[in-house]
Structure 1
Amino acid sequence: MSSDMKRNFALLSGPLAFLLLRFTAQSFGSAAASALGMAAWMALWWVFRPVGIAVTALLPIAVNAVLNLIPSGHVISNYFSEIVVLLLGADLICLTWSRTGLDRRVAVKALCGIGTSMRQQILAWLGASVVLSVFLPNVVVAAILCPIAAAMLKFVNGGKNPDVRQSAPILLAIGWGSGIGGFGSPIGGAANLVAIAYMEQLTGHEFMYVDWVLRFVPILFLVFLLNLFFLWQINRTTQDLNGSASYFKKLSEEFGPLKRGEKIGLTLFVLATLLAFLRPLYAELLPGLKPAYSFLTLGLLMFVLRDENGEVMLDWKYAESHVMWGMMFLFASGMALGRMLIETGAVKQLTALIAASGPSGGLGTIALFAAFGCFLTEMSSNTAAASIALPVVISITQTLRLNPVPYMLLTVVAVNCAYVLPVSTRAIPVSYGLDAGLQIRKGLRLTVLNVLLVTALGWFCINYVPFFARF
C-alpha cells in the first residue's frame, strides 16, 4: 500500500467509525450514538495520526457545532478550565528552565541519583509518580515530573529529541504512575472524596481516612508491581541511557553554583508545588488560590523578575512560540468528550446494559464493575467516572442484597486506573514526545491485565478479608 493510500485510509477511518456508530447504535438515541462515534473517531485518529494529535483534540468543538449534541458552551468551557490554567502556569515556569540552563543541571542531578540503567530509571520515575500522586492531584504530578524527565532524556541524547523507544518507558511510567497513585489516600483525587461521600450517605456514619489507607495501600502496592513489571517488559529491547555515573558526577561539578536566574526558576517551581501540596493549610484564608491559580500566578511573575544579566526571565514572544498549546487542547478534549457522553445519555444507556446483564455478585460482577470504571475514566475524568459508576454499583448490589461497600471500593480502584487514550493526565507525557499510538496499544494490554488483577483482588478481599468489607 502506498503512503498516500495509507494516509487516506487513516483519514477516513475516523469519520467512517463515527458514521457507523451513529447509524447502527440508534437504540442508544441519535445524540448518544453520535457521542460514541465521536469517541471512536478520536481514538482512531490518535492511533493512526493522519493529522496532529492536537488537531484531533479540537474535534468535539467542530462536531458538536454541526450536530448540536449538547450546548456548545458546555464543550468549549473545557478548553480553558481550571486544569488547563494549571498546565499553562506550570509551562510558563518550566520555560525559564531551558533559558537559564536549569533543565540541564536538574537532568544531570537526576542521572547522578538514579543511574543510567533503564530498569532503575523506570522504577524511580514510576515510584516517584505514584508516591507524589497519593498526596497531590495527578495532573500536578505529571506536570512537575514530565519536564524534568524530558530535559534528562534530551541531555543524554546530545541536545536532540530522544529516540521514541527510549523515552517511552519513562514517560509512560510518569503518565500511568501519576494516575494509579490517586487511590492511595482520600486526598489523592476528587474521585476518592466522591466515593467517601456516597459511603457516608449510604451508612450514616463517618469514613475515617486511616481506614481508607489500610484498605487501599496493599492494593496500590500490587497495582504498582503490575505496572512496573509491564514497563520492564516493554523495555526489553531498549538500551540504557548514554553516559556513566562518573561522567555525570564530573559534569555536575562543572556547573558551579546556581545562578540568579536558575534560583528564581527553581524557587518558583518548588513554591508552586508546595502551595499545591499544602493547600489545606491556607484554604480558608485564600479560598480562591487553588493549585491552578497559584501555578499561573507564579508563572506570570516570570515576565517581571530578572536574571543575573538584568533581563526578564520570560518575554511573551518566547512564551507564545514555546508554550505547549497542544498539550492543553489534548487534555481538554477528554473532558469535553466526557461531557458529551454524559449529557447525551450515552453513559446512561451503557449503565442500563450493565444492569440488564444479570449480575449475580460473584467474580463476573466484580469484573464488570472494574471494566465499567476503567471505561468511564478513559472517556472522562476519574471524578466524573466515580460520580457515574458508584450509584450504579450501589443500585445493583442493593438489588442483589449484597453489602455495597467492597464493590464500591473496588470500583474506586478501577476509576483511578486508566492507561489508553491520550486525554486527562495521559495527555501530558504525549506532549513531551510520547507516541500516542504506542500508549494506546500498550495501554489496552495493561488495562486488561489491570481489570483481571482488580477482579482477583476484589474476589479475594470480599471472601477472605472481612475487614475490607466492614464499614
Structure 2
Amino acid sequence: MKSNRLLENQQPSTGTFLSKLPNVTQFIVILLSFLCSFIVFTENIAYDAKVSMIVFIITLALWVCTKLPAAYVALGALLLLILLNGANTDVLYSSFSSEIIWLMIGAFIIGEAFSSSGLSLRMTRVIIHKAKNTNQLLLYLMLSLFPLAIFIPSTSGRAVLMLPIVREIANLVKNKQQREIIALFVPVIILMTTSSTLLGAGSHLIGIEILEKTTGDSISYINWLIWGLPFTLIISFITYFVFKLFFSKELTAAPFDANNINNIYEVKPVSKKEKQTLILLTVLILLWLTEALHGYEIGLITIVGAFIFMLPKYGVITWKKGLQAVSWNLILFVAGATALGKNLVETGAVSWIEQGVFQLIGAFPPIPAWGLVILIILIAITSHIYITSHTTRAVVMVPGILMLSMTLNLEPSSMLFLSLVGMNYCLTFPVSSKALLVYYEHDTMSYRANILLKLNMFLMPIYFILMILFYFTYWNWTGL
C-alpha cells in the first residue's frame, strides 16, 4: 500500500523535461535532436565536420530558445568545439584577430567621442529650435539619424547614443501620446537607416567576413553606399509618412512651449572639442570612402581614428572612457559566432550541406532566378520573427544563403546584400531588435507593443515590395 502511494506521489514528477517546455520549443528541440542524430550516423562526413555542425545546432537552439547571454553561449560553444577535437585551440585565439572585431571596437569609441564632445547636445538644440510641431520634430529627428549610420556599426549603439537627445526632448513634450510617438519613431528609423552603409550594422560586417572566406568576393564601402543609401532614404521617408497617417492628430499639435525651450537651450559657440570631432569624423569618412585608393582596410582606419580620439591631452575622450564605451558583450558574441561560422566552412561541413541541397533541389522542377531572389528576400525579411538577435540572424543564415546562391548559379555577393538588407527589417515585436527594446523598456517614454505591431502590418509589405522594385530597377542598373 505504501509502495503504491509512493508511486502515485512520484508520478507527477516523472514528467520529462521536454514536456514542461512550450509546444514550439518542444518541436524545435525534437527537430534539432533529429538533425544531430542524422549527422552522427552519416558515414561520409569527417569527424570534425560532424562536431562543428552538432555544436552549431546546439548553439543555435540556445540562442533561439533560451535567455542565456548570447556571448556566453558563443564562448561556451567554442570551448566545447575544442574539447571535442572539432577544432584546434587557434579557433578561440584567432577569433579576436578578425577585422570586424577591431572595427567594432573602434566604432564604439568614436561614437562615445561624438556624444562626449557635445555634438549630440547641439543636435538636440537644433532639432528643438526648428520644430514648430510634432510632425516637424519627427522629420528633424529622422534627418539627424542618417549620419549616425555612417560610423556606428550597431543599431543598439545608435539607439543608446540618441537616448539622451530623445530623453531631453521627451521631458519637454506636452502629453503622453506625443512622447510615445517619439519613443517609437526613433528606433524604427534607426532600423530603417541601417542598410545605408557597410558600417550600419555588425551583421553587415559578419556577412562580408563570411563572404570573403567562402567565395573570396567582397562588397566595398562605396559600393554598399551606392546601393544602400537611396533605398534607406526612400523607405525612411515612407515610414515617416506612415507615422503621419497613423498619428495625424498628435503630429499637428505643438510639442512644447517655445519660450520654455529658449530659456533651457541657449545657443552656444561651437567648442574646440566639437570642431575637433567634426574634423576627425570628416577625415575618417573620406578614408572609408577611398579605401580602394589608399589600400588601408576599414578596420585599421577605424582603430587609428579611435586612437586619435583618445590621445592624452589632445584627444576628445580619455582612454578609460573610450574602453568603457565598448560593448564587450557584443564583441565577445561576434568573435565567437564568427569563429563558429568559419569553422563550418573550414571543416567541409558547408560543402557537405551544399551537395545535399543540390540533390534536393534537383528533385523539383526548376525555379526561375527571379523567383529564387524573391524567396530569399521574403525569408530574410521574416527571419526576425524566429531569430530575434540581429547579429545571430547573419551568423545563422548567411552561410546557407551563400551556399544556395552558389549551388543555383546566383551571384553570391548580390544575394548576400539582399539578405542582409532584408534582415535589417525587424519591427514586428519589441524583442525583435535591441534598438526597439532600449525605448520599450524605458521608464518615462515607452511605447505600446500593439502600436508597433499595427505599424508592422503596413511597413513589412511595403519594405518587401520596395526591395523587389529596387532589385529589378536601380540595383540592377548599378551592377548588383
Q: Same fold (TM over 0.5)?
A: yes
d(CA) in 2 for partners of 1:66, 1:199: 28
* Larger gyration radius, structure 1 or structure 2: 2
After TM superposition, the structure 1 = structure 2 runs for residues 230-241 of structure 1, keeping only pairs within 5 Å, are: none
Aligned to 2:129: 112
The one-letter amino acid of 2:343's match is: E
* C-alpha contact 2:142 2:189 (8 A) present in aligned 1: yes
Give the match's secondary structure for 1:360: coil
Aligned to 1:365: 372
Give the deviation of 1:170 after TM superposition: 0.3
**RMSD over aligned Cα, in angstroms?**
5.8
Aligned to 2:194: 178
Give the match's secondary structure for 2:153: helix
Return 220-229 or 148-157, whichever deviates more. Answer: 220-229
Aligned to 2:8: none
Aligned to 2:74: 60
Aligned to 2:113: 93
After TM superposition, the structure 1 = structure 2 runs for residues 102-251 of structure 1, keeping only pairs within 5 Å, are: 103-114=120-131, 117=134, 120-127=136-143, 129-130=145-146, 133=149, 136=150, 139=153, 146=159, 149-158=162-171, 166-182=182-198, 213=226, 223-224=235-236, 227-228=239-240, 243-251=256-264
* C-alpha contact 2:191 2:426 (8 A) present in aligned 1: no
Q: 1:455 to 1:158 in 2, by over 3 A?
A: closer
d(CA) in 2 for partners of 1:338, 1:230: 37
Does residue 41 of the first structure (1) align with residue 68 of the second (2)?
no
Q: 1:33 to 1:181 in 2, by over 3 A?
A: same
Match of 2:303 among 293, 308, 320: 293
Give the deviation of 1:231 after TM superposition: 6.4
Give the deviation of 1:85 after TM superposition: 1.9
Aligned to 2:337: 337
Aligned to 1:204: none
Q: 1:168 to 1:294 in 2, by over 3 A?
A: farther
Give the deviation of 1:169 after TM superposition: 2.7
Aligned to 2:423: 418
Aligned to 1:304: 313
Q: 1:394 to 1:285 in 2, by over 3 A?
A: closer
Aligned to 1:3: none
Aligned length: 409
**TM score, norm. by length of structure 1:** 0.61
Aligned to 1:271: 279
* C-alpha contact 2:338 2:395 (8 A) present in aligned 1: no
d(CA) in 2 for partners of 1:329, 1:450: 34
d(CA) in 2 for partners of 1:76, 1:235: 51
List per-residue Cα deviations over 1:49-69 (Å, max 9, x = no partner). Answer: x56xxx433321023323546
List per-residue Cα deviations over 1:245-302 (Å, max 9, x = no partner). Answer: 554344333x5435xxx532x234323321321105687397798342133213322x
Aligned to 1:4: none
* C-alpha contact 1:74 1:339 (8 A) present in aligned 2: yes
d(CA) in 1 for partners of 2:94, 2:248: 43
Q: 1:233 to 1:380 in 2, by over 3 A?
A: farther
d(CA) in 1 for partners of 2:338, 2:462: 22
Unaligned segments of structure 2, at least 5 residues? 1-16, 40-49, 173-177, 443-447
List per-residue Cα deviations over 1:120-171 (Å, max 9, x = no partner). Answer: 45544445555775xx46618985x545522212223449xx9887534302
Q: 1:238 to 1:438 in 2, by over 3 A?
A: farther
* C-alpha contact 1:38 1:60 (8 A) present in aligned 2: yes
Give the deviation of 1:414 after TM superposition: 2.9
Unaligned segments of structure 1, at least 5 residues? 1-7, 202-206, 308-312, 398-403
* C-alpha contact 1:183 1:220 (8 A) present in aligned 2: no
Does residue 393 of the first structure (1) align with residue 413 of the second (2)?
no
Q: 1:229 to 1:382 in 2, by over 3 A?
A: farther
* C-alpha contact 2:95 2:335 (8 A) present in aligned 1: yes
Give the match's secondary structure for 1:139: coil
Q: 1:189 to 1:232 in 2, by over 3 A?
A: farther
d(CA) in 1 for partners of 2:254, 2:329: 31
Match of 1:449 among 448, 453, 461: 461
List per-residue Cα deviations over 1:341-390 (Å, max 9, x = no partner). Answer: 45336766765676434451165422223246665995569799778745
d(CA) in 2 for partners of 1:459, 1:147: 32
Q: Percent same amino acid among aligned pairs?
A: 8
